[in-house]
Structure 1
Amino acid sequence: MDAARIWPVALLLVSNVFMTFAWYGHLKYKHVALWMVILTSWLIALPEYMLAVPANRMGSSVYSAAQLKGMQEIITLSVFAVFSILYLGQKITMNHLIGFALIAAGGFFLFRQ
């Protein structure tokens, strides 16, 4: 696989780590004022955008927009599952895995020739 195909995936993966912390990291800190959580989330989201936008721009030379979006969703779910277990201490149930697998199956069809 060439770099033009790998870099967008790598950047989307890292951007999703930032995105997941921006969107869900505050759930462990429910005692913190909402305005502070929003400000912190925006600060975390900035690097996410700085990675996601170039990833999509670069990726558009080798992937369709639908493929990029599908890839983004599958990466998001994968990162979220790990985050949910390791950071939030929540369990992933069989129903969650089945739901994630169905979404991943959709990704299969986006990349099918």
Structure 2
Amino acid sequence: MSARLLPLLLLLGSNVFMTFAWYGHLKYRSSPLALAIVASWGIAFFEYTLMVPANRLGSTIYSVVQLKTLQEILTLVVFAGFSTWYLGQPLKWNHYAAFALIVGAAFLMFYE
């Protein structure tokens, strides 16, 4: 696998776990908050098992600023799908416009 692609795949996987850890409990609002916190911590453990190697490997290829920017873009992509698919809250035109501006800003991180 390409050395440039592996950190991105690990970041993508970690973002899936973290999105569920942060927002998955919103589908179960009747569950006790303490249970939501413990479950989120458990899910976050798996996020860390992907995020730490992604950052370790990725920092040999990308600058730390570029790596963080890639992570944020992946977070937006994962969150957009999660919001629509899992929570049933589709994005509106202004959300897409705001995300596009963020992606445009991220482009500047890689412009030399």
Question: Given the two structures, how large is their TM-score scaled by the length of structure 2?
Answer: 0.98
Percent identity over the alignment is 57
Question: Given the two structures, how large is their TM-score scaled by the length of structure 1?
Answer: 0.97
Structure 1 residue runs without a partner (length 5+): none
Q: How far is the alpha carbon of 1:112 from its aligned partner?
A: 1.3
Question: Residue type matched to 2:36 in 1?
Answer: V
Match of 1:45 in 2: 44
Q: How far is the alpha carbon of 1:51 from its aligned partner?
A: 0.2
Instruction: Find the aligned partners of 2:85 and 2:108 in 1 and give their Cα distance.
Output: 30
Instruction: Find the aligned partners of 1:99 and 1:45 in 2 and give their Cα distance.
Output: 27
Q: Deviations over 1:41-62 (max 9, x none)?
A: 0000001001001001100001
Q: Does 1:22 align with 2:35?
A: no
Instruction: Find the aligned partners of 2:98 and 2:48 in 1 and give their Cα distance.
Output: 27
Question: Residue type matched to 2:107 in 1?
Answer: F
Question: Residue type matched to 2:82 in 1?
Answer: F
Q: Does 1:64 align with 2:63?
A: yes
Structure 2 residue runs without a partner (length 5+): none
Q: Does 1:82 align with 2:84?
A: no
Match of 2:110 in 1: 111
C-alpha RMSD of matched pairs (Å): 0.8
Match of 2:54 in 1: 55
Give the number of aligned pairs: 112
